[in-house]
Amino acid sequence: MKKDIFKIGSLRLKSRLIVGTGKYKNFKETAQAIKESGADMVTVAVRRINILDKKKPILTDYLNPKKIIYLPNTAGCFSSEEALRTLRLAREMGGWKLVKLEVLGDKRNLYPNMFETIKSTKTLVKEGFRVMVYCTDDPLLAKKLEDCGASAIMPLASPIGSGLGIQNKINISIIIKQSKVPVIIDAGIGTASDATIAMEMGCDGVLVNSAIANAKKPKKMASAFKNAVISGRESFLAGRMKKKFFASASSPTKGLI
């Protein structure tokens, strides 16, 4: 039986759930939730991590970068210049070449500025980065990013932190069907069932932060997401039954008493 392998570039991951490290009460809670999630990879906002104040705790004290993959991201960047500078800094700090790019349009809706995003992707790929790109759910722009050399396409389900779930299944489905690189739902996931739906649609993975960190019980929610992603993937691989507009009896209609 052929193994179901999740690959981003040359990197192989066991879990299809990627977890963010922001919004938790403290680093201890962050570490506990991520352990419960079973995730191999966590995102880290380079502009928001503590690298100067030695009196304050740092994330690496709680999450060993030798045991879990750190994915530096450009959260909080609103221009190509900011994003490029941030990721170049990340490469200097930790040698990271696999990165997550997000260039935001404005502070209210946090939608991606796709013009700046495409521009940044082209530059980063030329500089040897492997780029996972946060983007809108526009199939044409998603294809453009892939053509520019993106290692993964990460369309939003709905606005960042909204918890509204997948709002445009048609566009996400088109992106999945046309893409030759992994498609990972990013932003807007609210609960475990949203992750299952994404995986059943054929997404390669799901990135979750707020839905776990803002839950009343983050550890329990992390576990729920772990199982939801596994269940959704297995459902997709199993192949769902065809939808019908009329009833179809489960029991045989011949030989009735």
Active site residues: 100
Q: HSE on the CB side for 116, CA within 13 Å?
A: 19
Q: Which two tokens stand for residue 26?
A: 């403290």
Residue 188: which residues within 8 A CB-CB, separation 6 or more?
156, 157, 158, 159, 160, 161, 162, 163, 164, 165, 166, 167, 194
Q: Which has the closest alpha carbon to 208: 34, 25, 14?
A: 34
Distance CA 133, CA 250 (A): 45
Which residue carries 């990271």 as its tokens?
96
Distance CA 121, CA 62 (A): 31
As a whole number of angstroms, the longest Cα–Cα distance in the chain is 81
Q: In Å, what is the CA distance from 240 to each residue of 103, 165, 194, 243?
A: 37, 21, 17, 9
